[in-house]
Homo-oligomer: A and B are copies of this chain.
């Protein structure tokens, strides 16, 4: 039935695994990768993650966000169940919205060494104002670094309508 053979799933230990442990303290080590079978081609993979929650570092109040992660893989690709567990590990972690997005991107860069990556968080409002941080990164000294500049320059020229309802 399958296109991916067993050996092409080496290192994927969490997907379909029954005894999954949910860790709620910041845990970048849960991230797992598998091999990119199409490294000769630049292509995008996007993760839509509407179930992100963390804590305010000053007040301890829970924060909620939808996070969009897009990247161009090189040799390694992050496995999505491990990504889920990683994002769950912010559940009892306190940090500013802007810091969370940068940390997530840094961890994924360290994990996958992608060609390009971007992370966009869209939080629910506190005191009537919501905050949406966006960061991106291209491998230094390559065309992907210029890609990052270009995409930042063109970022979000059309902010979505927000009325807090």
Q: Is A107 among interface residues, defined by CB-CB distance under 8 A?
A: no
Asked if residues A128 and B84 are in contact (CB atoms below 8 Å), the reply is yes
Q: What interface size band does chain A fall in?
A: 35 or more
Asked if residues A133 and B60 are in contact (CB atoms below 8 Å), the reply is no
Residues in A35-67 with C-beta less than 8 Å from chain B = 36-38, 41-51, 53, 55-62, 64, 66
Q: Write out the residue numbers on chain B whose beta carbons fall within 8 Å of the beta carbon of A61.
A: 20, 22, 88, 127
Asked if residues B134 and A46 are in contact (CB atoms below 8 Å), the reply is yes
Q: Write out the residue numbers on chain B whose beta carbons fall within 8 Å of the beta carbon of A153.
A: 147, 150-151
Q: Write out the residue numbers on chain B whose beta carbons fall within 8 Å of the beta carbon of A48.
A: 125, 129-132, 159, 162, 164-165
Tallying the copies of this chain within the complex gives 10
Most buried by B among A26, A91, A103: A91
A162 partner, pick from B55, B103, B165, beta carbons under 8 A: B165
Asked if residues B66 and A162 are in contact (CB atoms below 8 Å), the reply is yes
With CB as the reference atom, state the residue of chain B lying closest to A41: B135
With CB as the reference atom, state the residue of chain B lying closest to A84: B127
Q: Write out the residue numbers on chain B whose beta carbons fall within 8 Å of the beta carbon of A126.
A: 80-81, 127-128
Asked if residues A129 and B83 are in contact (CB atoms below 8 Å), the reply is yes
Asked if residues B124 and A43 are in contact (CB atoms below 8 Å), the reply is no
A77 partner, pick from B3, B95, B98, B132, beta carbons under 8 A: B98
With CB as the reference atom, state the residue of chain B lying closest to A125: B164
A→B interface (CB under 8 Å): 1-4, 9, 12, 15-22, 24, 26, 34, 36-38, 41-51, 53, 55-62, 64, 66, 68, 70, 72-73, 77, 80-81, 83-84, 87-88, 91-96, 98-103, 120, 122, 124-137, 147, 149-165
